[in-house]
Structure 1
Amino acid sequence: MTTPGASRYHEVYAAWKADPRAFWGEAAKAIDWFTPPEMVLDEKAGVYGRWFEGGVGNVCHNALDRHVAERGDQKAMIWDSAMTGESAAWTYAEMRDEVAALAGVLREMGVEKGDRVVVYMPMIPQAVFAMLACARIGAIHSVVFGGFAANELATRIEDATPKAILSASCGLEPGRTVAYKPLLDKAIELSIHKPDACLVFQRPQAQATLVAGRDRDWAQAVADAKAHGRLADCVPVAATDPLYVLYTSGTTGKPKGVVRDTGGYMVALAWSMHALYGVEPGEVYWCASDVGWVVGHSYIVYGPLIAGCTTILYEGKPVGTPDAGAFWRVIAEHGVTTLFTAPTALRAIKKEDPRAEHLARWDLSRFRALFLAGERADPATVQWAEETLKVPVIDHWWQTETGWAIAGNPVGLGALPVKHGSPTVPMPGYDVRIVDEGGRDVPPNTMGSIVIALPLPPGCLPTLWHADDRFRESYLEAFPGTYSTSDAGFVDEDGYLFIMGRTDDIINVAGHRLSTGGMEEVLASHPAVAECAVVGVKDALKGEVPCGFVVLKAGVEASPLAIEKELVGLVRERIGPVAAFKLAITVGRLPKTRSGKILRGTMKKIADGDDWAMPATIDDPSILDEISSELSRRGFGRT
């Protein structure tokens, strides 16, 4: 445990708990409202209550227009493409004009307040312009990860029923160009709902064929809008109006559209930028995610701009574009103070460059904090990052549904002591509880289901898109009066939260409930292991037994078989024979979503010989063939 200076966290959290309305009412003063809210919380509205009833504002106004007078010449966004070698920047004034012109084009395409717009884009500036242009005119955007399969895109088009779709001709992946337009055309063909129009940004790496009468060229349309002064102003929208609908990754069947309302989201993001991340206006903040994920929505686009920061939009990977020093280059070249990325990015860098030799080439003197989220940050990776970067490494935990951190270490309030393996403590607004199967609170250090008492704080989903009943069934019915996170973990005697995995990652070995996350911690502590995943596989005697998949660091000299034996012994030593851990399997790569989450559920199905479908969000499908082949060699799965 490290021991920083005094923190105001406990004082601030207690103030929220004593008077939630006063707390969030004060936080709402950071927002430039057209009409201030009449009520901070209306508990009778919506499914569980609605925030800032009566308030009227606009997210684009708060992200761009209001900053122009004070910091119009400051860079609002820097685009850095490791894929093309290009870099570009826009000031707040330039970005406002670009977004206003695109919003004018949307108006010409018939898009009005309340209409939906699907955004299917790579990591290029136009993707950010698209989101802000929708917000500017009160349209509801739904960003679908660029390169998503046609049938997955089609299900989202059917559910959102967009008036228009904004896309690009292609996306770029290491070693290949992904043509988006054929996927988009096929999705529209498959979908019962047909958009009125599509706007397509032509990238030089691949030109798309436009459909007459439906498709328009992006650059031409925006240039024409600028030439004729067709720039759209910000449209006033209610605080409770939706800003966007974001479909949860990995869904099967009908996707779940998480709704994000306007007012609560602005307030929560503004509060988090200074209190949690400790970032001030004018500083450079980099969230190395994708705009297709919730992290990209909150902390590439809206959060940093609302806070008056300079945000980085990065098109590239942590390794291979061109090497494991890519992140350090971006930090050094653009003066980044704070980076937010996924633990899997750090593990990839550690695997390729375990001694951090690339780091010596770059000046990171302005860099002061690294935040991790997206999946559990194993202590070994956090410790490696601390020793390598010599800055605080802050794990924090949140979900697509919440839109911002449930738990974290609030650097802006003064960092709390770090406990490796814990995202630290709940943020104001979140009354986090650990309960047993009957919904009863459990003692400290006891594993249970993690729930949050209602109402959820500002920024969290008020419901699912046109599916209140499904929202209640999915999140509120299991433990009445609370929101079920579907995560499992415990709280220690100091109030620190430990997330040990999804509730379905708690395996039952001969009647003992064991956390796969705890076993992963042990495996990751081995000096030869770069990353790992533990799943429970079927066993005729014990019901389930754990199976560990491990990826070794580059340059490891010991044989995989020898390391596997050491790992089995290590789990037996640290957790005990009760874990029944007898199988460690060395693999070249772990299958992941494009946001970096390990596909443990799919690996389990392959090992069990169950039917499985290719996950829609998988980054590289060929990895599952590698996993299947190795499992088959060991006598698992279908033969």
Structure 2
Amino acid sequence: MSYSYQIGSLEQYHEAYRKSVEDPEGFWAEIARTFTWKKPWDKVLEWNFKEPNVKWFIGGQLNITENCLDRHLESKADQPAIIWESNDPNEHHRVLTYRRLHFKVCQFAWVLKNNGVKKGDRVCIYMGMVPELAIAVLACARIGAIHSVIFGGFSAQSIADRLQDAKAEYIITCDGAYRGNKTIPLKPVIDDALVTCPFVKTVIVHTRTRTPVSMIKGRDLWWEDEINRVETQGNPDFPAETMDAEDPLFILYTSGSTGKPKGVVHSSAGYMIYTNYSFVNVFQNKPGDVHFCTADIGWITGHSYIVYGPLSAGATSLMFEGIPTFPDAGRFWAIVDKYKVNILYTAPTAIRSLMVFGTDFVTPYKLDSLRVLGTVGEPINEEAWHWYDEQIGKKRCPIVDTWWQTETGGILISNLAGVTPAIPAHATLPLPGVQPVLVDENGKEVKGNGVSGNLCIKFPWPSIIRTTYGDHERCRTTYFATYENMYFTGDGALRDEKGNYRITGRVDDVLNVSGHRIGTAEVENAINMHYGVVESAVVGYPHEIKGQGIYAYVIYSGKREDEELIRKDISATVSRIIGPIAKPDKIQFVTGLPKTRSGKIMRRILRKIAEGELQNLGDTTTLLDPAVVEEIKTGKQ
């Protein structure tokens, strides 16, 4: 397959960008025509950012799996669609060709149908990084059910919150998962979550670790038994459900600045078109390339650039079950050589953690198949960028520094590999079709170059968030109410003299830890549930591996004879309520928090102290008790 909309030169980039701004509907219609539609659209776009209400390809009908699978069967049936590398390097890898993946997805779509799943139902998926996770995702999409994948590191409470919000009556899970030298129980965590979710009808369990699990009659089913049942029916083809362009494809929960996670909803057509377009252009994918995205499918990166982007483009997507340091810190590089990987897409956190081990784990590998490197999840610092460029790319692979969010569905700002210039630690230029602006605190646009401000987007792109599940008002207030007629990203940015963007980080109460967004309010709520905690305040601080660490200031009412044990207890509470990913890196016990007279915590002060800035704390005269600041400074961790 050749991509007629793949930009091949800087001149083409500028021309495409000009067209996308002058005639956005014509620009996207031309790209959309290259896909398989059951019925063409009547109108390309309707939008306003007030309500908000965004609709793309109105009246069009399609199914994303026909575009990810069926349309490749004629020319790519025997090409690998997914290559799976196990956590254990000695375990045999698996290759699913497009023909085999199509067969497996149809098979599991029948399993879902046999168990009463129908179009519009919500299906929660909580699995390890096994091919069956991708199969389950695609089978949901084929049947028209809305999938909600939950990362395998979240706790029972976090799962229950998401199940209740989505009113998901069906769950797909594994007995357990392998992660490095650990076996993670998954089904037992689901069992704990279901204590408060009696509405769940069916749990389908895939066998991976052979961990003993409890199987409840009438509710729990083995994946393998259900597949056998379909095989006895003769494995008929499963015709893809007709989906309206604006029908929801999936819900993915993300942390916000309030305690409750919000379910970001993406549409069927717009999401598909944008993930495909961004994949093909940012990574400059070529037929036959092996694309290795190291993310987990539980995050948006895995949705867009392991499953939907590569498969809709007819590419080969490599899926890895393990971690970069097991059995040693050369695992990524071993995988690159083993499968002749052409495109490697990973997180700055992973790069920084591997830098610590030095180059001894890099030098045994050739890495000569690599053509493009990419980073995702957070801004990459210059030191890590240069190490990645020199040690992994051997100074011959462009690095795409991609900026985007769960809510954007795909990459919005990035250099295009080898086409537009790369600048260390800069996301650089917006993709054609994306119109970023910088605004000041009052929402006034900051024009020109060599400026900074809050990053907003002033025109919709096809994969923009449609709503937050079951609570459209929350979508409006979070993303569209801060600045009039704009989508507010929550990030700050600099725009240099040539118009290149550099993302400076969050400007709201959300942390970016190892590339994953965690709301401060969510962590505070979890800490405050610990017996003895009166109140807490959480801020981010620079962390040499994670990018941002979590620093918690805690007012504790009980005895503090063994402070280290209390810290461990508080961390265990957070881990139990949210998951290990949200555990504080530092906990400082304080007698009070810096509050204004109206009771608002001045996080600016706490952030500066956590960052080690103890002198220039700004105006503290509005504080109820300025003395508390001195005490916090003295006790800094």
The structure-2 alpha-carbon separation of the partners of 1:306 and 1:548, relative to structure 1 and needing over 3 Å to count, comes to closer
The structure-2 alpha-carbon separation of the partners of 1:294 and 1:550, relative to structure 1 and needing over 3 Å to count, comes to closer
**How far does residue 189 in structure 1 lie from its aligned partner after superposition?**
0.8
The structure-2 alpha-carbon separation of the partners of 1:458 and 1:607, relative to structure 1 and needing over 3 Å to count, comes to farther
Secondary structure (helix, strand or coil) at the match of 1:352 reads: coil
Distance 2:589 2:507 in 1: 25
The structure-2 alpha-carbon separation of the partners of 1:25 and 1:5, relative to structure 1 and needing over 3 Å to count, comes to closer
> After superposition, where does 1:33-44 map in structure 2 within 5 Å?
33-43=37-47
Secondary structure (helix, strand or coil) at the match of 1:336 reads: coil
Is the Cα–Cα contact under 8 Å of residues 158 and 578 in structure 2 kept in the other structure? Answer: no
Secondary structure (helix, strand or coil) at the match of 2:373 reads: strand
Distance 2:269 2:399 in 1: 31
Amino acid at match of 1:180: L
Distance 1:625 1:6 in 2: 46
Partner of 1:55: 60
- Give the one of 464, 475, 484 matched to 1:460: 464
Distance 1:230 1:605 in 2: 58
Structure 1 residues 415-424 or 100-109, which shifts more? 415-424
Is the Cα–Cα contact under 8 Å of residues 250 and 617 in structure 1 kept in the other structure? Answer: no
* Number of residue pairs the alignment of both structures matches: 549
Partner of 2:574: 614
**How far does residue 9 in structure 1 lie from its aligned partner after superposition?**
1.6
The structure-2 alpha-carbon separation of the partners of 1:617 and 1:424, relative to structure 1 and needing over 3 Å to count, comes to farther
Partner of 1:263: 269
Is the Cα–Cα contact under 8 Å of residues 552 and 588 in structure 2 kept in the other structure? Answer: no
Amino acid at match of 2:458: A
Is the Cα–Cα contact under 8 Å of residues 40 and 61 in structure 2 kept in the other structure? Answer: yes
Secondary structure (helix, strand or coil) at the match of 1:40 reads: strand
Is the Cα–Cα contact under 8 Å of residues 453 and 493 in structure 2 kept in the other structure? Answer: yes
- Give the one of 56, 73, 80 matched to 1:75: 80
Is the Cα–Cα contact under 8 Å of residues 147 and 171 in structure 1 kept in the other structure? Answer: no
Task: Give deviations 1:108-161, integer Å, cap 9, x for gaps.
Answer: 110011111000111011111000000011110000111310010001000111
The structure-2 alpha-carbon separation of the partners of 1:547 and 1:449, relative to structure 1 and needing over 3 Å to count, comes to closer
**How far does residue 338 in structure 1 lie from its aligned partner after superposition?**
0.4
Matched, 1:383 2:386: yes
Partner of 1:342: 347
Is the Cα–Cα contact under 8 Å of residues 86 and 321 in structure 2 kept in the other structure? Answer: yes
Task: Give deviations 1:153-173, integer Å, cap 9, x for gaps.
Answer: 001000111131000000122
Distance 1:621 1:368 in 2: 35
Partner of 1:577: none
Secondary structure (helix, strand or coil) at the match of 2:142 reads: helix
**How far does residue 442 in structure 1 lie from its aligned partner after superposition?**
1.9
Partner of 1:135: 141
Distance 1:65 1:450 in 2: 39
Matched, 1:366 2:369: yes
Secondary structure (helix, strand or coil) at the match of 2:53 reads: coil
Distance 1:225 1:318 in 2: 37
Amino acid at match of 2:28: W
> After superposition, where does 1:495-574 map in structure 2 within 5 Å?
495-504=499-508, 551=544
Partner of 1:483: 487
Is the Cα–Cα contact under 8 Å of residues 324 and 332 in structure 2 kept in the other structure? Answer: yes
**How far does residue 55 in structure 1 lie from its aligned partner after superposition?**
0.8
TM score, norm. by length of structure 1: 0.80
Distance 1:420 1:371 in 2: 12
Amino acid at match of 2:337: A
Structure 1 residues 436-445 or 422-431, which shifts more? 436-445
**How far does residue 334 in structure 1 lie from its aligned partner after superposition?**
0.9
Matched, 1:427 2:431: yes
Partner of 1:220: 225
The structure-2 alpha-carbon separation of the partners of 1:627 and 1:225, relative to structure 1 and needing over 3 Å to count, comes to farther
- Give the one of 107, 110, 116 matched to 1:104: 110
Secondary structure (helix, strand or coil) at the match of 2:408 reads: coil
Partner of 2:32: 28
The structure-2 alpha-carbon separation of the partners of 1:212 and 1:325, relative to structure 1 and needing over 3 Å to count, comes to same
**How far does residue 34 in structure 1 lie from its aligned partner after superposition?**
0.9
**How far does residue 447 in structure 1 lie from its aligned partner after superposition?**
2.5
Task: Give deviations 1:230-282, integer Å, cap 9, x for gaps.
Answer: 54221110110000000004775432100010000111122112222100233
The structure-2 alpha-carbon separation of the partners of 1:88 and 1:606, relative to structure 1 and needing over 3 Å to count, comes to farther
Amino acid at match of 2:350: A
Partner of 1:167: 173
**How far does residue 623 in structure 1 lie from its aligned partner after superposition?**
6.8
Distance 1:7 1:358 in 2: 40
The structure-2 alpha-carbon separation of the partners of 1:381 and 1:214, relative to structure 1 and needing over 3 Å to count, comes to same
- Give the one of 279, 292, 296 matched to 2:302: 296
Matched, 1:209 2:195: no
Unaligned runs of at least 5 residues, structure 2: 1-7, 513-519, 521-538, 558-566, 591-608, 611-630
Partner of 2:444: 440
Task: Give deviations 1:62-107, integer Å, cap 9, x for gaps.
Answer: 1111111111111111110134632111111111111111110000
Distance 1:452 1:209 in 2: 48
**How far does residue 366 in structure 1 lie from its aligned partner after superposition?**
1.7
TM score, norm. by length of structure 2: 0.80
**How far does residue 606 in structure 1 lie from its aligned partner after superposition?**
6.2
Amino acid at match of 2:126: Y
Task: Give deviations 1:495-533, integer Å, cap 9, x for gaps.
Answer: 100111101489xxxxxxxxx99xxxxxxxxxxxxxxxx
Secondary structure (helix, strand or coil) at the match of 1:189 reads: helix
Partner of 1:532: none
Is the Cα–Cα contact under 8 Å of residues 67 and 308 in structure 1 kept in the other structure? Answer: yes
Distance 2:555 2:368 in 1: 47
CA RMSD, Structure 1 to Structure 2 (Å): 3.1
- Give the one of 170, 176, 185 matched to 2:182: 176
The structure-2 alpha-carbon separation of the partners of 1:161 and 1:505, relative to structure 1 and needing over 3 Å to count, comes to closer
Distance 2:508 2:471 in 1: 24
Amino acid at match of 1:485: T
Distance 2:121 2:260 in 1: 21
Partner of 1:229: 234
Partner of 1:636: 635
Partner of 1:523: none
Task: Give deviations 1:339-369, integer Å, cap 9, x for gaps.
Answer: 111111111111112xx23223223222101
Partner of 1:91: 97
% identical aligned pairs? 35
Secondary structure (helix, strand or coil) at the match of 2:123 reads: strand
Secondary structure (helix, strand or coil) at the match of 1:79 reads: strand
Matched, 1:400 2:406: yes
Is the Cα–Cα contact under 8 Å of residues 153 and 579 in structure 2 kept in the other structure? Answer: no
Is the Cα–Cα contact under 8 Å of residues 552 and 584 in structure 2 kept in the other structure? Answer: no
Distance 2:282 2:152 in 1: 30
Partner of 2:360: 357
**How far does residue 617 in structure 1 lie from its aligned partner after superposition?**
6.0
Amino acid at match of 2:635: F
The structure-2 alpha-carbon separation of the partners of 1:618 and 1:196, relative to structure 1 and needing over 3 Å to count, comes to closer
Partner of 1:624: 585
Partner of 2:204: 199
Partner of 2:601: none
Secondary structure (helix, strand or coil) at the match of 1:603 reads: strand
Distance 2:308 2:107 in 1: 19
Secondary structure (helix, strand or coil) at the match of 1:316 reads: coil
Task: Give deviations 1:194-235, integer Å, cap 9, x for gaps.
Answer: 211110012234132211110110011112212312542211
Distance 1:251 1:170 in 2: 32
Partner of 2:126: 120
Amino acid at match of 1:337: N
Distance 2:584 2:466 in 1: 37
Partner of 2:475: 471
Distance 1:378 1:155 in 2: 35
The structure-2 alpha-carbon separation of the partners of 1:81 and 1:240, relative to structure 1 and needing over 3 Å to count, comes to same
